[in-house]
Amino acid sequence: MDFAFDLLQTMIKGLLTGMVYSLMALGLTVIFGVMRVVNFAHGEMMVVAMYLTVFAFGVLGIDPVVALIPVAGILFLFGYGLQRIVINRFINVPEHMQFILMLAIAIILVNACLMLAGPDAQGVQLDYSLDSFEIGSLLLDKVRVYAAAGSLLIAFTLFLFFSRTRTGKAIRAAADNYTGALVVGLDVKRLYAITFGIGAACVGAAGVLTVMIVQVQPFLSVEYTLLAFTIVIIGGLGSLRGAIAGGLLIGLSEAVAGFLLDPSLKSVFSFGLLILVLLVRPQGLFGRAP
């Protein structure tokens, strides 16, 4: 009975963490799904957002929950500008050139963080950092619940944006048929910039929520880029539902594998899952077969 309860608690914790993973992966999948650009600077953008949150908290005394919208806004503007000024010129070039470009942006961002913030881990020490919600006998730590709730809200808003707004529908139309979108007079360049901005804002929001749970340092970015890719490949590149499912699956599997087997095997389990999906369903759980 105790074991089952402990396992249940661990699974809930894994799902809460997985929800934040999903938000991070949503940004990546939105950009790829619409523009077919693989954003290798995804983890770096997340780390930039984490540092902005640390700065907002440490210097301005702004709680991360409050900093969520401004930081996501800054990342939106950054993504929008980056797409309009740089990436847009690489949309129709061979993919390897896009890869190199995104890697270059990643290296610039991580080194900028290193120069400005130094190599040491930094975090936010909130008054409620060590508090937990008690639901019956279940204990859920507050920051993780807040982070998961924030992620859920943002993901829901994103779904509404793509399904209910004119701009969202236009972006989907441009993603489905680039030439058709041009023919009917859509400003595809602007739509792409908005899309990249939205992707950056998503990962920015994920960064704000993540820094409530873990400390940030520049080289964390590589791990997050890898994690985001693992999630979207499992869920299906370009699929919003896939990103959500993939994030939850990774969060859950890491927690359960750590609890039942060995915590050192957490990453092994994630990558094992990735290989399994690639073997059985290469397009991912929710991806469309080519």
Partner 1 sequence: MTDTKKPISRRVFTGSLAAGAALLSMPAVLRTAAAQTGKEPLKIGVLLPKSGVQAGLGQACQRGADVAQAVLNDLNYGVKIELLNADTESNVDTARTQAEKLINGGAAVLTGAFDSGQSAAIAQVAEQRGVPYVINIAADPKITEQGYKFVFRNFPTAPMLITGAFDLQKQLFAATGKTPKTAVLMSVNDAFGTAMMGGIKAMFPRFDMPYQIVDVIAYDPKAKDLSVEVAKAKATKADILMPVSRLNDAILLVQEMVKQRWEPMGIVNPGAPGMYEQQFFKTLGKYSEFCVSNVPWLNPRSKMTPVLAKRFKEKFPNDLLELNVGFTFEAILIAADAYKRTKSAHPNALVEALRGTKIDDHVMVGGPIQFDQKHQNVNIKSAAVQNLKRQPTVVLPADSASAKPVFPMPGWNAKARA
Q: Which of 14, 18, 204, 238 binds partner 1 (CB under 8 A)?
A: 14
Q: Which of 184, 214, 268, 278 is the binder for partner 1 (CB under 8 A)?
A: 214
- Binding of partner 1 by 268 (CB under 8 A): no
Size of the chain in residues: 290
Within residues 121-140, the interface with partner 1 by CB under 8 A covers 121, 125, 129-132, 139
Which residue in the set 61, 94, 119, 136 belongs to the binding site for partner 1 (CB under 8 A)?
119
To the nearest 10 degrees (0 to 180), the angle between helices 220-235 and 42-58 is 130
Question: Which pair of structure tokens corresponds to residue 13?
Answer: 């914790």
Question: Residue with structure tokens 């908005």?
Answer: 194
DSSP letter at 288 equals: P
Structure tokens at 94: 């061979």
Is there binding between residue 258 and partner 1 (CB under 8 A)? Answer: yes
In 3D space, the residue among 5, 3, 7 whose CA is nearest the CA of residue 257 turns out to be: 7
Candidates 95, 100, 104, 118; binder of partner 1 (CB under 8 A) is 118
Which amino acid is located at 280 in the chain?
V
Residue given tokens 């991070």 in the structure block: 24
Compute φ and ψ for 132, nearest 5 degrees. Answer: -135, 150
Q: Quick one: 238 or 251, whose CB is closer to partner 1?
A: 251
Describe the crossing of helices 2-35 and 188-210 by its angle, rounded to 10 degrees.
Answer: 160
Is position 254 an interface residue for partner 1 (rule: CB under 8 A)?
yes
Minimum distance from CB of 257 to partner 1 (Å)?
9
- Report in angstroms the alpha-carbon separations of 101 from 91, 105, 108, 180: 11, 6, 11, 27
As measured in angstroms, the least distance from the Cβ of 130 to partner 1 is 5
CB 111 within 8 A of CB 50: no
- Comparing CB distances to partner 1, the nearer of 173 and 265 is 265
Which member of 97, 135, 177, 263 binds partner 1 (CB under 8 A)? 263
Binding characters for partner 1, 17-36, by CB under 8 A (x = yes) = x-------------------
Segment interacting with partner 1 (CB under 8 A) among 7-15, 35-43, 153-161, 235-243: 7-15
- Report the candidate in 79, 91, 230, 63 with the shortest Cα–Cα distance to residue 147: 63
Contact set with partner 1 (CB under 8 A) = 2-3, 6, 9-10, 13-14, 17, 118-121, 125, 129-132, 139, 141, 144, 213-215, 217, 220, 254-255, 258-259, 262-264, 266
